[in-house]
Protein backbone atom coordinates (compact mmCIF):
# COMPACT_ATOMS: atom_id res chain seq x y z
CA UNK A 1 0.00 0.00 0.00
CA UNK A 2 2.81 2.37 0.87
CA UNK A 3 4.59 1.78 -2.45
CA UNK A 4 1.31 2.06 -4.38
CA UNK A 5 0.50 5.36 -2.66
CA UNK A 6 3.85 6.89 -3.56
CA UNK A 7 3.89 5.44 -7.08
CA UNK A 8 0.44 6.87 -7.80
CA UNK A 9 1.24 10.20 -6.11
CA UNK A 10 4.53 10.74 -7.92
CA UNK A 11 3.01 9.51 -11.19
CA UNK A 12 0.09 11.92 -10.97
CA UNK A 13 2.40 14.80 -9.99
CA UNK A 14 4.86 14.20 -12.82
CA UNK A 15 2.28 13.46 -15.52
CA UNK A 16 -0.03 16.30 -14.47
CA UNK A 17 2.78 18.83 -14.71
CA UNK A 18 4.19 17.31 -17.90
CA UNK A 19 0.87 17.41 -19.74
CA UNK A 20 0.11 20.88 -18.38
CA UNK A 21 3.38 21.99 -19.99
CA UNK A 22 2.50 20.18 -23.24
CA UNK A 23 -0.91 21.85 -23.23
CA UNK A 24 0.59 25.27 -22.60
CA UNK A 25 3.13 24.89 -25.38
CA UNK A 26 1.09 23.03 -28.00
CA UNK A 27 -2.49 23.87 -27.03
CA UNK A 28 -2.93 26.53 -29.69
CA UNK A 29 -1.89 24.07 -32.42
CA UNK A 30 -4.99 22.01 -31.64
CA UNK A 31 -7.38 24.81 -32.57
CA UNK A 32 -10.81 25.42 -31.13
CA UNK A 33 -11.82 22.73 -28.56
CA UNK A 34 -15.47 23.14 -29.61
CA UNK A 35 -14.50 21.91 -33.07
CA UNK A 36 -13.34 18.63 -31.51
CA UNK A 37 -16.23 18.34 -29.10
CA UNK A 38 -13.88 18.55 -26.12
CA UNK A 39 -16.07 21.06 -24.32
CA UNK A 40 -18.27 18.13 -23.26
CA UNK A 41 -15.39 15.89 -22.15
CA UNK A 42 -15.40 17.17 -18.57
CA UNK A 43 -19.16 16.59 -18.30
CA UNK A 44 -18.77 13.07 -19.67
CA UNK A 45 -15.94 12.29 -17.25
CA UNK A 46 -17.97 13.58 -14.31
CA UNK A 47 -20.98 11.52 -15.38
CA UNK A 48 -18.72 8.47 -15.63
CA UNK A 49 -17.62 9.01 -12.03
CA UNK A 50 -21.14 9.70 -10.80
CA UNK A 51 -23.02 6.89 -12.60
CA UNK A 52 -21.88 3.94 -10.41
CA UNK A 53 -23.15 5.75 -7.29
CA UNK A 54 -26.70 6.09 -8.59
CA UNK A 55 -28.01 2.81 -7.22
CA UNK A 56 -30.84 3.93 -4.96
CA UNK A 57 -33.56 6.57 -4.99
CA UNK A 58 -31.82 9.09 -2.72
CA UNK A 59 -28.71 9.62 -4.88
CA UNK A 60 -30.81 9.64 -8.06
CA UNK A 61 -33.22 12.21 -6.62
CA UNK A 62 -30.38 14.41 -5.42
CA UNK A 63 -28.67 14.21 -8.82
CA UNK A 64 -31.89 15.18 -10.60
CA UNK A 65 -32.52 18.10 -8.23
CA UNK A 66 -28.92 19.31 -8.59
CA UNK A 67 -29.08 19.09 -12.39
CA UNK A 68 -32.38 20.98 -12.42
CA UNK A 69 -30.99 23.71 -10.17
CA UNK A 70 -27.95 24.04 -12.41
CA UNK A 71 -30.08 24.39 -15.54
CA UNK A 72 -32.45 26.87 -13.88
CA UNK A 73 -29.67 29.11 -12.54
CA UNK A 74 -27.53 29.19 -15.71
CA UNK A 75 -29.30 32.22 -17.23
CA UNK A 76 -29.55 34.01 -13.88
CA UNK A 77 -26.05 33.93 -12.36
CA UNK A 78 -22.48 34.30 -13.70
CA UNK A 79 -20.71 31.27 -15.25
CA UNK A 80 -19.43 28.74 -12.71
CA UNK A 81 -21.88 29.78 -10.01
CA UNK A 82 -24.69 27.35 -11.00
CA UNK A 83 -22.43 24.38 -10.25
CA UNK A 84 -21.49 25.86 -6.87
CA UNK A 85 -25.16 26.44 -6.04
CA UNK A 86 -26.00 22.85 -7.06
CA UNK A 87 -23.14 21.53 -4.91
CA UNK A 88 -24.38 23.49 -1.91
CA UNK A 89 -27.94 22.25 -2.42
CA UNK A 90 -26.62 18.69 -2.74
CA UNK A 91 -24.68 19.00 0.51
CA UNK A 92 -27.66 20.44 2.37
CA UNK A 93 -30.10 17.82 1.04
CA UNK A 94 -27.66 14.98 1.73
CA UNK A 95 -27.07 16.20 5.27
CA UNK A 96 -30.78 16.64 5.86
CA UNK A 97 -31.65 13.18 4.50
CA UNK A 98 -28.91 11.27 6.28
CA UNK A 99 -28.08 13.14 9.46
CA UNK A 100 -30.91 15.57 10.09
CA UNK A 101 -32.72 13.45 12.65
CA UNK A 102 -29.75 11.51 14.01
CA UNK A 103 -30.41 8.36 11.97
CA UNK A 104 -29.45 7.24 8.52
CA UNK A 105 -31.90 6.51 5.71
CA UNK A 106 -31.11 2.79 6.13
CA UNK A 107 -32.26 2.94 9.75
CA UNK A 108 -35.68 4.23 8.79
CA UNK A 109 -35.05 7.95 9.00
CA UNK A 110 -37.85 10.04 7.59
CA UNK A 111 -37.19 13.59 6.52
Say how many residues make up the chain. Answer: 111
Whether residue 26 sits in one domain with residue 41: no
Measure the CA–CA gap between 2 and 7, rounded to whole angstroms.
9
Q: Are residues 41 and 20 in the same domain?
A: no
- Do residue 17 and residue 55 come from a single domain? no
pLDDT tens-digit series, residues 45-85: 878 888 888 888 888 888 888 889 988 998 999 988 988 99
- Residue 22 and residue 4 in one domain: yes
Q: Over the chain, what is the mean pLDDT?
A: 82
Same domain? For 68 and 99 the reply is yes
| Burial of 58: CB neighbours in 10 Å, binned 0-12, 13-18, 19+ | middle
The verdict on 82 and 51 lying in the same domain is yes
Axis crossing angle, helix 81-99 with helix 57-73, rounded to the nearest 10: 150
Does the pLDDT value for residue 5 go beyond 60? yes
For residue 15, give its domain range. 1-30
Q: Is the pTM above the cut of 0.75?
A: no
pLDDT of 10 above 90: yes
Amino acid sequence: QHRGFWTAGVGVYVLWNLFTLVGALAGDAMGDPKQWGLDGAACAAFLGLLWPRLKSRDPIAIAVVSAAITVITIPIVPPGIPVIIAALVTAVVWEWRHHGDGATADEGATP
